[in-house]
Structure 1
Amino acid sequence: MPRTLITGGAGFLGSHMCDRLIAEGHQVICVDNLLTGRKENINHLLDNPCFTFIEHNIIEPLEINGNINFILHFASPASPKDYMKHPIETMKIGAWGTYNMLELAREKGATFLLASTSEVYGDPQVHPQPESYWGYVNPIGPRSVYDEAKRYAEALTMAFHRKYGLDIRIARIFNTYGPRMRMNDGRVISNFIVQALRGKPITVYGDGSQTRSFCYVEDLIEGIYRLLLWQAPPASKAQNLKPKTQHLEPSTQALMPVFNLGNPEEHTILQLANLVKEITASKSEIIFEPLPVDDPKRRCPDISRARNLLGWSPITDLRTGLQYTIEYFKELENEQTGRNHA
């Protein structure tokens, strides 16, 4: 039975990953300091003999007895609302937290998977974004605490790979949504759904023409699990899979285990707002506010490598995924209403 440690395991994505690992026969060690993660996300696993929860802040070293086969590093505030509220903590997790988990992986001889982000591309000038694109990031803007923390985490992960031969994977995760998102996490889909269900104005920033690609959480978890088990192809085959880019690539770039994971179907934010309004049958009006600083105009992954090397692509369309997510939020609203009336 593989023994797998996951940081940020009580978070939105991390808790779904815990479920998948348990289902695949892993013994799971979930580590989370509950800064943005929630115990409710893993309550159903606490009595499972294959699951262990450790409340710990990974900016401090972590000692684990016994072997570990895989370490999945998901820990970090991930929504703009969270990482702007916790800017120093976000950078510490990206730096010290990543270092501590890489050292643990080196000590145990474990495969290390970094949950990175499309934010490493910043406000991209290339569409769609291939893994070889270096990004267009403001290093001192308000979003930089997350962008640069993840860029540093990727660089540190690659340094451990090059210096120590550590077996690594880097998943650049694009916008993901689904059950277990927090109602107040500040992300666009949760914001729109909550506003629509409560009959409040749906707030669109800018004119709504900026685009995002939205991947349903179950699809993303499938991609991450496939990446975890992936083995590098022969060099000759990998060279044929290099995406086109304006940058010259290092000779080993095609072999590096960096993968975009997301849905390549672009939607404008205004389209999303109207779709949420339609599905919820909400009478909310759509209002427009100024666009936040450094908010990307377009964001869309090139998932050619994931398709070719992992055999993965998302299968859940936006309408279906939103319907599942809206039902989850309705349950949360009903629970909250019940508590308020108790």
Structure 2
Amino acid sequence: MKRILVTGGSGFIGSHLCERLLNEGNEVICLDNYFTGSKRNIIELLGNPYFELVRHDITEPYYAEVDEIYNLACPASPVHYQYNPIKTIKTSVMGAINMLGLAKRVKAPILQASTSEVYGDPAVHPQPESYWGNVNPIGPRSCYDEGKRCAETLFMGYHTQNGVAIKIARIFNTYGPNMNVNDGRVVSNFIVQALQGKDLTIFGDGSQTRSFQYVDDLVDGLLVLMQTDASVTGPVNLGNPTEFTMLELAREIIDLTGSSSELVFHPLPQDDPQQRRPDIGLAQELLNGWKPQVELQQGLQHTITYFENLLSA
């Protein structure tokens, strides 16, 4: 049995990761300050004697004896990370320093949940890990984009200078149950609007693309990445390479929900990427052939059912 620390453990992805780690026979410490996470996401885990919930902000040091660390703490949707940009970048940078310090002290491997946002509005498509990105360092999204880029730098620094065992996962658009109703990301926005009979809000003309990964596939990738040989540090892209336009996604969700919603168009936000699709060749090479298994329609149906139950509660 390993004792595993998950920061941001009551968040969307973190809650799924905590559940999987417990199911695999581990002891889990879930650390969260509930800025975007929710106790509702981990309520069913609270009765497990091997699950420990700690209210803590990782911009402050935390001390525990652990065998592995997954650093997921940070608001990940534009609505939330732009609400308090200083707090966002402090979480990415100071949080990374604190968790890396802990990993160094207890000699534990640590995985950083980085993001496809490090690529910015990419000039290379699809995006391989070798691409350095096209990021506006002073734009409205920079608190998140540059915070995550700096966190990657810190991870590599602690690895090369102090020998800390690190893993960096660049996570592309992920969706599924436990997303916040007010998450602000496109999948949850469209589903909630469709279920409530509201018009679906399209930013731009809807031709911009994203690749959508179901959360179970992501958790599979994170677990395999953590168990790779120490020489594998990443970054490694984890995402679904199947690409959809916003219009295609909106129409699929309207069909699946049986909604009579219409599409309404608004101006594209500043620095919003036009294209986003991962090159997952490295992940397939290093992670025992890992690739997403859940098709968009199947994953959307699970997510729609979750929101139906949540909104009717």
TM-score normalized by the length of structure 1? 0.90
Q: Which amino acid aligns with 2:22?
A: I
Post-superposition offset of 1:24? 1.3
- Name the residue aligned to 2:282: 305
Contact kept, 8 Å, 1:61 with 1:100, in 2: the verdict is: yes
* Long gaps (5+) in structure 1: 234-254, 336-342
2:74 paired with 1:97: no
| Distance (Å, rounded) in 2 between the aligned partners of 1:23 and 1:158 | 31
Contact kept, 8 Å, 2:70 with 2:113, in 1: the verdict is: yes
Residue 173 (structure 1) aligned to one of 171, 174, 191: 171
Contact kept, 8 Å, 1:232 with 1:257, in 2: the verdict is: no
| Distance (Å, rounded) in 2 between the aligned partners of 1:330 and 1:263 | 25
| Distance (Å, rounded) in 1 between the aligned partners of 2:215 and 2:236 | 17
Post-superposition offset of 1:257? 2.2
SS at 2:256 equivalent: helix
Contact kept, 8 Å, 1:131 with 1:260, in 2: the verdict is: yes
For residues 23-34 of structure 1, the aligned pairs below 5 Å read 23-34=23-34
For residues 142-161 of structure 1, the aligned pairs below 5 Å read 142-161=140-159
Contact kept, 8 Å, 1:196 with 1:282, in 2: the verdict is: yes
TM-score normalized by the length of structure 2? 0.98
Q: Residues 212-264 of structure 1: CA distance to partner in whole angstroms, max 9, x if unpaired?
A: 0000000110011100111156xxxxxxxxxxxxxxxxxxxxx6421100000
Post-superposition offset of 1:23? 1.1
- Name the residue aligned to 1:193: 191
Query: Identical aligned pairs, as a percentage?
Result: 57
- Name the residue aligned to 1:38: 38
- Name the residue aligned to 2:309: 331
| Distance (Å, rounded) in 2 between the aligned partners of 1:89 and 1:232 | 32
| Distance (Å, rounded) in 2 between the aligned partners of 1:218 and 1:44 | 18
| Distance (Å, rounded) in 2 between the aligned partners of 1:95 and 1:308 | 30
Q: Which amino acid aligns with 1:73?
A: N
| Distance (Å, rounded) in 1 between the aligned partners of 2:286 and 2:300 | 28
Residue 282 (structure 1) aligned to one of 259, 264, 283: 259
* Long gaps (5+) in structure 2: none
SS at 1:85 equivalent: coil
Runs of 4+ aligned residues of structure 1 deviating over 3 Å after TM superposition are: none
2:121 paired with 1:123: yes
- Name the residue aligned to 1:322: 300
Q: Which amino acid aligns with 2:273?
A: P
Q: Residues 21-71 of structure 1: CA distance to partner in whole angstroms, max 9, x if unpaired?
A: 11111110110011110011111111211110110111011122xx31101
- Name the residue aligned to 2:107: 109
| Distance (Å, rounded) in 2 between the aligned partners of 1:41 and 1:228 | 23
Aligned length: 312
> In terms of Rg, which structure is larger?
1
Q: Which amino acid aligns with 1:322?
A: L
| Distance (Å, rounded) in 1 between the aligned partners of 2:294 and 2:43 | 27
